[in-house]
Amino acid sequence: MKKFQFASIVVLALFIVSCGGLNKMKKDAQNVKYTVTPSPLELHADSVEVSVTGTIPPKYFNKKVIVEATPVLKWDGGEKAYELKKLQGESVEDNNQVISNAEGGSFNYTSKVPYEEGMRMSDLEIRIKGYVAGKEDKAVDFEPMKVADGVISTPNLVKLDSKGIIGKDKFQRIIPETKYAEILYTIQQSKVRSSEGRTEQMKALKEYIKEVKANERKEFKGVAISSYASPDGAEDLNAPLSEKRGKSAEKFMNRDFRKVDAAKDNENFMTYQATAEDWNGFKELVQASELKDKDLILRVLSMQSDPVQREAEIKNISATYLELAKDILPKLRRSKINVNVDLIGYSDEEIKAIYAQKADSLNVEELLYAATLFEGQDEKLAVYKKASEIYANDWRGFNNAGVVYIEKGDLTNAKAELQKAKSIDATNTIVLNNCAAVQLREGNFAKAEELLTSAAGAGKEVSYNMGIVLIKKADYAGAVASFGDDCSFDAALAKVLNADNSGAAKTIDCSDDKATADGYYLKAVIGARNDDSDMLLNNLRAAVEKNAEMKTAAKTDMEFAKYFANDTFKSIVE
């Protein structure tokens, strides 16, 4: 019995000693120093990460105690706990970090929690529970210790104003046309034979000229004649011969343009150019032929630049030269005639009038162009809807309607139209960008990034949209690179987040948001980060004058924490 009583007394004494050590740890908890990075905390990629370094003094940590430390973000109406950190004394048999009683020690801790809006104005406190190993049910709660204030949520200023790409029309007001024919001559002759005026090619040219004369939407722009001699014979004879052929072709064609005003009023309407020996034409015809020694002839042409030497070596290929004289050379004694005409399309007024009366009489390019003639989104949308109705196999009508719906904020209809465009052309990069633009506005950033990767090369809008994605991923350097030299609010925000305040200020000042509430507010943030009170207060004042709701935002924005007690700041936000 005496032995039992003695053992009980020893256990009780040890318990009292242990509890006494634990209570002492609780009492001296303020001697543990915490360094929080960053402070205030910051929102990045939809979460708030905290890094804590704790420094524990010597003779503080009881050898038999386990401590559970939990950082907690606490705000009005809610709280969010980070993952707990366990530390243990030297005599504890467990797998937690050990802190020496004699020397003290330190620990590093990193964890993150999902962001909630209330965290903007919050306290980060360390909640500690300690207990003697094996006696968790006898745990002692330490007094919570506040170690940081609030969360900077500046990345949430990003505008999800993703950009769509219109499928461009190919409408041309003036469409150039050319009608071609040629006149062939007999060897050493420059006179146009009457038979040349009756060839099928020449008949078609003359019919075309009549058609243009009768069509008020077609205008003659000129006639270009190129005349040649074949590369056989002496060059000093061929040069004047090709010149005479040009003049004869001009005279021949003049008969068809005697009553054409454009020809009468322009002395340069009809021009001719003479080429003494048509070696280029010779090479083309030989390449297209089935001559037995074709390769040999082409080799001579490539190796010899002197025309006399060329002709001599080719003539040495006696059997083949007879074929050349029969089938190739006669085709090179010619004048090539190009009649150039402009087809004049509808004026803007005509297109709008035809669209209103009979839209289906416009071709698809004219109809898509018609949408650019209207200012209002509803009018543009109506044109694109009509285009997709009439030309249902063209992706652009559906795509462009989808873009207008995006701009109107009607994402349901935008998705429906873009899905139709995608069904026509599943890999079209413009359509993929626009599908990504919808996903961005709906907050589906991973899907948007996937689509944008596939849309590479569609236009600068892809890079802009990817910049937004990268801000949401907290890849601020990547976002800056993606925005490039774009002048926009989001491009400026990316530079702020990437610690380039000077570049951010220049970008916002060249953007459309320069004088908006959002633009002024971002410049106030830049002022706070630069510790420039004038820049902060002047721009914040301008922001709330544009939008009074900015007062509420500023009151809880930890970017301005140093100025919460400033009288001028308070006068602006009250």
Instruction: Count CA atoms within 13 Å of residue 551 on its CB side.
Output: 12
Q: Please give the distance of CA 248 from its chain centroid, rounded to a whole number.
A: 58
Q: At 512, is the secondary structure helix, strand, or coil?
A: coil
pLDDT digit string (tens) for 468-492? 999 999 999 999 999 999 999 999 9
pLDDT digit string (tens) for 65-98? 999 999 999 999 999 999 999 999 999 999 999 9
Instruction: Count CA atoms within 13 Å of residue 212 on its CB side.
Output: 27
How many other C-beta atoms are found inside a 10 Å radius of the C-beta of residue 566?
14
* pLDDT score of 87: 97
Is residue 466 a contact partner of residue 449, using CB atoms and an 8 Å limit? yes
Q: At 106, is the secondary structure helix, strand, or coil?
A: strand
pLDDT digit string (tens) for 384-408? 999 999 999 999 999 999 999 999 9
Lowest mean pLDDT among 277-291, 372-386, 516-530, 558-572: 277-291
Strand (E) or helix (H) holding 226: strand 218-228
* pLDDT score of 311: 84
| Residue 157 reports pLDDT greater than 80 | yes
* pLDDT score of 15: 41
Distance in angstroms (rounded) separating the CA atoms of residues 40 and 54: 17
Distance in angstroms (rounded) separating the CA atoms of residues 304 and 321: 17
* pLDDT score of 20: 54
Between 466 and 296, the more confident residue is: 466
Amino acid at 69: A
**Confidence band for 1, pLDDT divided at 50, 70 and 90:** very low
How many other C-beta atoms are found inside a 10 Å radius of the C-beta of residue 70?
16
Nearest to 520 by CA among 544, 539, 492, 546: 539
| Residue 6 reports pLDDT greater than 50 | no
* pLDDT score of 318: 59
pLDDT digit string (tens) for 164-190? 999 999 999 999 999 999 999 999 999
Considering the entire predicted model, what is its pTM?
Answer: 0.81
Q: What domains can be seen in the chain, in order of their start residue?
A: 2-152 (2.60.40), 174-344 (3.30.1330.60), 394-573 (1.25.40.10)
**Please, which residues have CB within 8 angstroms of residue 201's CB and are 6 or more apart in sequence?**
180, 181, 182
**Confidence band for 291, pLDDT divided at 50, 70 and 90:** confident
Total count of residues recorded for the chain: 574
* Residues facing 334 on adjacent strands: 184
Please state, rounded to an integer, the average pLDDT across all residues of the chain: 93
Beta strand 218-228 pairing with 145-149: unpaired
Is residue 336 a contact partner of residue 222, using CB atoms and an 8 Å limit? no
Q: At 26, is the secondary structure helix, strand, or coil?
A: helix
Lowest mean pLDDT among 98-112, 304-318, 545-559: 304-318
* pLDDT score of 13: 37
Instruction: Count CA atoms within 13 Å of residue 506 on its CB side.
Output: 7
